[in-house]
Structure 1
Amino acid sequence: MTRIIQSLSQIGAGYDVLFCDLWGCLHNGKQPYPAAVAALRAFRQDGGQVVLMTNAPRPNQFVIRQLDRMGVPRDAWDIVVSSGDAAQEAMFSGAVGRKVWHIGTDKDDGFFDDIPPEFADAAPIRRVPLEEAEGIVATGPFEELTETPQDYHDRLVQARDRGLPLLCANPDVVVDMGETRIYCAGALAEYYEGLGGTSLYFGKPHPPIYNRARRLLDLAPDARILAVGDGIFTDVKGGLDQGIDVLFVTGGLAADALGPDVENPDNALLLDWLEGHALAPQYSIGRLR
Structure 2
Amino acid sequence: MSQIIEHLSEISDRYEALFVDLWGCVHNGITAYPEAVAALQAYRKRGGIVVLLTNAPRSRHEVAKQLDRFGCPEDTWDNIATSGDSARTAMFTGAVGNKVYFIGTEFDLPFFEPLKLIENPVEIERVALEDAEGIVCCGPFNAHDDPDTLRPQFLYAKQKGLKLLCANPDIVVDRGETREWCAGALAQLYTEMGGESLYFGKPHSPIYDLARRRLSEIKPGIPDSAILAVGDGVKTDIAGAMGEDIDSLFISGGLAAAPTRTDRQPDPEALEMYLAEEASSPTYSIGYLR
* Percent identical residues: 53
Tell me the amino acid that sits aligned with residue 183 of structure 1.
W
Say whether the 8 Å CA contact 1:103–1:137 is kept in structure 2: yes
Residues 103-154 of structure 1: per-residue CA shift (max 9 Å, x gap): 00111111102x111336433100001010000000000111x212101010
User: Which of residues 203, 208, 213 is equivalent to 1:215?
Assistant: 213
Say whether the 8 Å CA contact 2:137–2:166 is kept in structure 1: yes
Residues 1-22 of structure 1: per-residue CA shift (max 9 Å, x gap): 1000000000000000000000
Residues 57-99 of structure 1: per-residue CA shift (max 9 Å, x gap): 0111111111111110000000011000000000000000000
Give the aligned partner of residue 91 of structure 2: 91
Tell me the amino acid that sits aligned with residue 85 of structure 2.
D
Give the aligned partner of residue 249 of structure 2: 247
Residues 210-250 of structure 1: per-residue CA shift (max 9 Å, x gap): 11111122242525000000001000000011001000000
In 1: Cα distance, 2:180 partner to 2:159 partner: 28
Say whether the 8 Å CA contact 1:204–1:238 is kept in structure 2: yes
In 2: Cα distance, 1:164 partner to 1:11 partner: 46
In 2: Cα distance, 1:278 partner to 1:143 partner: 31
Give the aligned partner of residue 122 of structure 1: 121
User: Which of residues 257, 260, 263 is equivalent to 1:258?
Assistant: 260
1:105-144 mapped onto 2 (5 Å cutoff): 105-113=105-113, 115-119=114-118, 121-144=120-143
In 1: Cα distance, 2:238 partner to 2:260 partner: 16
Counterpart secondary structure, 1:119? coil
User: Which of residues 171, 174, 182 is equivalent to 1:173?
Assistant: 171
Q: Over the residues paired in the alignment, what is the CA RMSD in angstroms?
A: 1.0
1:148-227 mapped onto 2 (5 Å cutoff): 148-218=146-216, 219-220=220-221, 222-223=223-224, 224-227=226-229
Give the aligned partner of residue 283 of structure 1: 284
Structure 2: gaps of 5 or more residues: none
Counterpart secondary structure, 1:274? helix
In 1: Cα distance, 2:250 partner to 2:274 partner: 12
1:62-73 mapped onto 2 (5 Å cutoff): 62-73=62-73
Instruction: Using structure 1 for the length normalisation, give the TM-score.
Output: 0.97
In 1: Cα distance, 2:215 partner to 2:6 partner: 28
State yes or no: 1:10 paired with 2:10.
Answer: yes
Give the aligned partner of residue 234 of structure 1: 236
Residues 27-73 of structure 1: per-residue CA shift (max 9 Å, x gap): 00000000000000000000000001100001111111111111100
In 1: Cα distance, 2:223 partner to 2:60 partner: 26
Instruction: Using structure 2 for the length normalisation, give the TM-score.
Output: 0.97
In 1: Cα distance, 2:72 partner to 2:10 partner: 23
State yes or no: 1:42 paired with 2:42.
Answer: yes
In 2: Cα distance, 1:192 partner to 1:276 partner: 25
Moved more, 213-222 or 126-135: 213-222
In 2: Cα distance, 1:141 partner to 1:18 partner: 30
Counterpart secondary structure, 1:278? coil
In 2: Cα distance, 1:6 partner to 1:186 partner: 31
Moved more, 168-177 or 216-225: 216-225
Compared with structure 1, are the counterparts of its residues 173 and 110 closer, same or farther at alpha carbon in structure 2 (3 Å cutoff)? same
Say whether the 8 Å CA contact 1:250–1:262 is kept in structure 2: no
Compared with structure 1, are the counterparts of its residues 120 and 220 closer, same or farther at alpha carbon in structure 2 (3 Å cutoff)? closer
In 2: Cα distance, 1:118 partner to 1:222 partner: 25
Structure 1: gaps of 5 or more residues: none
Say whether the 8 Å CA contact 2:94–2:122 is kept in structure 1: no
In 2: Cα distance, 1:182 partner to 1:24 partner: 13
In 2: Cα distance, 1:75 partner to 1:174 partner: 28
Compared with structure 1, are the counterparts of its residues 208 and 123 closer, same or farther at alpha carbon in structure 2 (3 Å cutoff)? closer
Q: How big is the shift at 1:174?
A: 0.3
In 1: Cα distance, 2:117 partner to 2:70 partner: 31
Give the aligned partner of residue 57 of structure 1: 57
Counterpart secondary structure, 2:230? strand
